[in-house]
Amino acid sequence: MEGLLYLENGSVYRGKGFGAPGSNVGELVFNTSMTGYQGILTDPSYMGQIINMTYPLIGNYGVSEVDNQSGGIHAFGFVTRDITFRPSNRMSVMSINEWLEQQGVPGIYNVDTRAITKKIRTEGTIKCVISNEGISVGQAKDMIGKTELRTDYMREAGVRERAICKGVAGEGQNDRSRGAGLRIAVLDFGIKRNIISGLTDRGCEVTMYPYGTTAEEILALNPDGLFLSNGPGDPEACGLGVKTTRELLGRLPIFGICMGHQVIALAAGGRTYKLKFGHRGANHGVIDLETGKSAITSQNHSFAVDKDSITVKDMVVTHLNLNDGTVEGMRHKTLPVFSVQYHPEGSPGPNDSQYLFDRFVKMVREYKK
């Protein structure tokens, strides 16, 4: 099965196809993680994107029944240097080829992923076509011209209707009952399962709300706190989420991650901007300016918060990216509101950032008193 990756600038990469036969248009991005491809592909934040993995061998430990971060694959395509058709892992239930085929997602391999990554780093994320069904370059070019990339996937990446997830006090290896009795409302832009677990494992009762839920609808059930999730797309296209958050500032303790972090910035009156090629990987260094401690973090985002725009809106920058100095965390000077750009639930080996869930639970409990 022939594989084709065609970029909007005319670049062509030919390889072999795997997964489900098909052709998709999406935004080409790269991820530097050495492991975790199952969680990456099922992260709703990748909706609309085609992922180029920098690590050369993908699929060697197969696909398990426990590592999905959502109900299925959200990425529009997958690009690798090489894949394993016969994985070796006691938890594996199928190969990555079988999984992509089952999920209806096209993949290509045997291409120079290093060259593709360098292209993205030089020119920025770019619209492309991935195909493994034998289309011509001309057909791919025609698909590019007829397809506009969407920026509002957060409208459909989360739950469609309200749902409750209950935690069990004291579950886990440590004492995690500190959130018992707390009711947390989650505005879902495309949440990862590990984030929900970060709350329910601490005993919180979590109520998921779909995109478009109003502040009044959230307050009607008298929650103790509000969590804003990660999700795909441009935060400035998340108008209803920003409006709801703005109306809840000062009325509930709020914690946001990734898209939720950006939504808080916009709700406070700040700005966001698109990064040249984003942050995607499991080895991004972040420093906590208030403790002086650094952490290795998992990240997946195309946009960042404009530091100057929030520091004049009663927000304090609390975390910075150690590679490029972009804002990785902030808090409000007087209100119980804080957020981080990275994924504390990701735990790429270290569990450095799990304390943020405890901080949120503590903040909610103190506010409730």
Given the residues 204, 238, 258, 279, select the one marked as catalytic. 258
Residue 345 falls in the annotated catalytic set: yes
Residue 65 falls in the annotated catalytic set: no
Given the residues 74, 301, 332, 343, select the one marked as catalytic. 343
* DSSP codes joined into one string, 200-247: HTTT-EEEEE-TT--HHHHHTT--SEEEE---SS-GGG-HHHHHHHHH
Residue 343 falls in the annotated catalytic set: yes
Given the residues 27, 205, 328, 345, select the one marked as catalytic. 345
Q: Supply 74's token pair.
A: 């959200």
Beta strands in 20-162 (DSSP E): 23-31, 49-53, 57-58, 77-79, 82-83, 106-109, 126-131
Alpha-carbon span 350 to 170, nearest angstrom: 22
Asked whether 76 and 105 are in contact (CB, 8 A), the reply is yes
- The values of phi and psi at residue 116, to 5°, are -65, -45
**DSSP element (H, E) containing 165:** strand 163-166
Asked whether 269 and 352 are in contact (CB, 8 A), the reply is no
**Residue 123, Cβ density class (10 Å: 0-12 exposed, 13-18 middle, ≥19 buried):** middle
- Return the active site residues: 258, 343, 345
